[in-house]
């Protein structure tokens, strides 16, 4: 009896083991690649197998594909041109370095249809992405990356530096252009130049020491968030003839010119929750209507933390902090020769709500009025500390409920903390 039970148990174990082996064999066989190409799969081009980068681009099939750039330094004297849509051009991070040696003003990389700017609307290229590579030029070269009428162009993780033209120019890339997580530095032109673009995302980039950081001209719906903009030789962000846009959560510091400019019929734009520090000027609304300036920190601006000009009106200014480098206990952070901090200038504007802002130790005035009168303004519930102000001279306006402290002059006894 015991022998029969042992025999039956052994049989069960053998059957289980065989079943397991059969299952493993089945799974192993399904995981193996076949000699048949996966239906729908597109080509992958290994640029290392071609005599030049352009030859690799020319190998992209009509329906698109992937071009993989190896690590290395690749010097070019003519632009690399991509003329296909549905393409991913990707490198090995900054280890993939394209150096433009051209001195005739030509770009390093061009994305465009073979018909160039004359391409018909129905023939425009869609969905080209550049990622994980570095492109540098020289003061006589052209733009770093030029995209012409590419729909849904996407640049991510690119470093674009030292070009004679713009770092990146997107020329009428109308549908949904995106630029993110990139480093755009030391270009003689504009870091990122957006011409005639629509539904734009510019997020989490770093801009350093270009002429201007960003232009958005003749466009729509710019969403610019979470960027760091530093040390520009001209302006920071220039927006013209554009509406329905938001600048939020950006750090804009030490531009020689103005940090943010709105001009040429801008409307419906919000500038909010930015830190705008130590620039030649802060925000200049030269020609803007129906815009909001809210919850920004505007500190140690040499002139005009905010200027609203005669071609601008219907603006809301609320919840901003406009201040110098005071850090408590009669102490300022900046050196004596670096204490400039300006307030708001109103120059012939009207229909404004200036409510709930804090002005502290700015000069010459918290609110300065020009000889061009401003009128129909609500100036209410603001805190004015250690400032003088001309807001009481506003005409046809509502002025209520300010909390004002007596101005004091900063003298040599004021402490500075380095």
Question: Is residue 25 situated within a structural domain?
Answer: no
Strands 383-385 and 403-404, bridge-based pairing: parallel
Q: Is 17 left (phi over 0), alpha (psi -120 to 50) or beta?
A: alpha
**Per-residue DSSP letters for 189-214?**
SEEEEEES-EEEEEES-EEES-SEEE
Tell how far CA 394 is from the center of its chain: 37
Q: Take residue 405 and report the two structure tokens written for it.
A: 């402290």
Which mean pLDDT values do the consecutive 10-residue runs of the chain (418 residues) have?
50 46 46 70 93 97 96 98 97 98 98 90 95 98 98 98 98 97 98 98 98 98 98 98 97 98 98 97 98 98 97 98 91 81 97 98 96 97 96 95 71 41
Listed in sequence order, the DSSP H helices in 81-193 are none
**Alpha carbons 163 and 145: distance in angstroms, whole number:** 10
Question: Is residue 62 situated within a structural domain?
Answer: no
pTM for this predicted structure: 0.89
Place of tokens 């109103």: 346
Exposed e or buried b per residue across 179-215, where buried means at least 16 C-beta atoms within 10 angstroms of its C-beta:
bbebbbbbbbbbbbbbbbbbbbbbbebbbbbbbbbbb
* Residues 6+ away with beta carbon under 8 Å from 182: 155, 156, 157, 158, 159, 160, 168, 205, 206
CATH label of the domain that carries residue 370: 2.160.20.10
* Residues 6+ away with beta carbon under 8 Å from 355: 316, 317, 318, 378, 379, 380, 381, 382
Report helix, strand or coil for 28: helix
364 preceded by cis ω (within 30°)? Answer: yes
**Alpha carbons 5 and 10: distance in angstroms, whole number:** 9
Question: Is residue 38 situated within a structural domain?
Answer: no
Question: Is residue 372 situated within a structural domain?
Answer: yes
* Cβ count within 10 A of residue 408: 12
Identify the DSSP state of 3.
H
pLDDT of residue 254: 96
**Alpha carbons 323 and 321: distance in angstroms, whole number:** 6
pLDDT of residue 71: 98
Beta bridge partners of 151: 126
Question: Is residue 166 situated within a structural domain?
Answer: no
Strands 297-299 and 43-46, bridge-based pairing: unpaired
Report helix, strand or coil for 17: helix
pLDDT of residue 418: 38
282 preceded by cis ω (within 30°)? Answer: no
Please give the tally of structural domains in the chain: 1
Question: Is residue 234 situated within a structural domain?
Answer: yes
Give the HSE-up count for residue 70: Cα atoms under 13 Å, Cβ half-sphere: 11
Question: Is residue 50 situated within a structural domain?
Answer: no
Identify the DSSP state of 152.
T
Strands 326-328 and 331-332, bridge-based pairing: antiparallel
Question: Is residue 226 situated within a structural domain?
Answer: yes
* Residues 6+ away with beta carbon under 8 Å from 191: 166, 167, 168, 184, 185, 207, 210, 212, 213, 214, 232
Domain that includes residue 302, residue range: 211-408
Q: How many residues does the chain have?
A: 418
* Cβ count within 10 A of residue 35: 4
pLDDT of residue 412: 36
pLDDT of residue 40: 87
């Amino acid at each position: 009896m015991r022998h029969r039970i042992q025999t039956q148990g052994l049989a069960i174990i053998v059957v289980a083991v065989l079943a397991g082996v059969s299952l493993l064999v089945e799974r192993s066989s399904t995981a193996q690649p076949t000699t048949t190409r996966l239906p729908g799969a597109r080509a992958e081009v290994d640029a290392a197998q071609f005599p030049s980068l352009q030859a690799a681009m020319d190998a992209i099939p009509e329906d698109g594909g992937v071009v993989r750039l190896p690590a290395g330094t690749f010097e070019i004297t003519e632009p690399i041109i991509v003329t296909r849509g549905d393409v991913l051009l990707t490198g090995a991070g900054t280890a993939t370095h394209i150096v433009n040696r051209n001195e005739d003003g030509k770009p390093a990389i061009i994305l465009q249809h073979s018909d160039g700017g004359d391409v018909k609307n129905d023939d425009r290229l869609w969905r080209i992405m550049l990622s994980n590579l570095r492109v540098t030029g020289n003061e006589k070269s052209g733009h770093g990356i030029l995209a012409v009428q590419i729909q849904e162009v996407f640049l991510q993780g690119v470093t674009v530096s030292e070009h004679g033209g713009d770092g990146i120019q997107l020329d009428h890339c109308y549908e949904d252009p995106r630029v993110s997580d990139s480093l755009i530095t030391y270009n003689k032109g504009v870091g990122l130049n957006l011409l005639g673009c629509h539904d734009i995302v510019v997020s989490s980039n770093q801009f350093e020491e270009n002429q201007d950081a960003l232009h958005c001209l003749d466009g729509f719906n710019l969403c610019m968030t979470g960027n760091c903009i530093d040390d520009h030789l001209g302006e920071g962000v220039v927006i013209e003839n554009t509406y329905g846009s938001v600048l939020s959560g950006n750090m804009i510091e030490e531009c020689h010119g103005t940090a943010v400019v709105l001009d040429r019929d801008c409307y419906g734009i919000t500038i909010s929750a930015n830190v705008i520090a130590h620039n030649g000027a802060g925000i200049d609304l030269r020609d803007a209507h129906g815009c909001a300036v809210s919850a920004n920190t505007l500190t140690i601006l040499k002139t005009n933390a905010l200027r609203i000009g005669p071609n601008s009106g219907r603006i809301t200014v609320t919840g901003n902090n406009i201040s110098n480098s005071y850090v408590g206990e009669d102490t300022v952070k900046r050196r004596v020769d670096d204490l400039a901090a300006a307030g708001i200038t109103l120059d012939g504007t009207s229909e404004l709500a200036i409510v709930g802002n804090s002005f502290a130790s700015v000069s010459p005035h918290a609110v300065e009025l020009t000889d061009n009168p401003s009128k129909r303004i609500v100036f209410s519930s603001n805190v004015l500390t250690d400032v003088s102000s001309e807001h009481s001279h506003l005409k046809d306006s509502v002025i209520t409920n300010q909390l004002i402290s007596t101005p004091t002059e900063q003298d040599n006894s004021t402490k500075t903390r380095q």
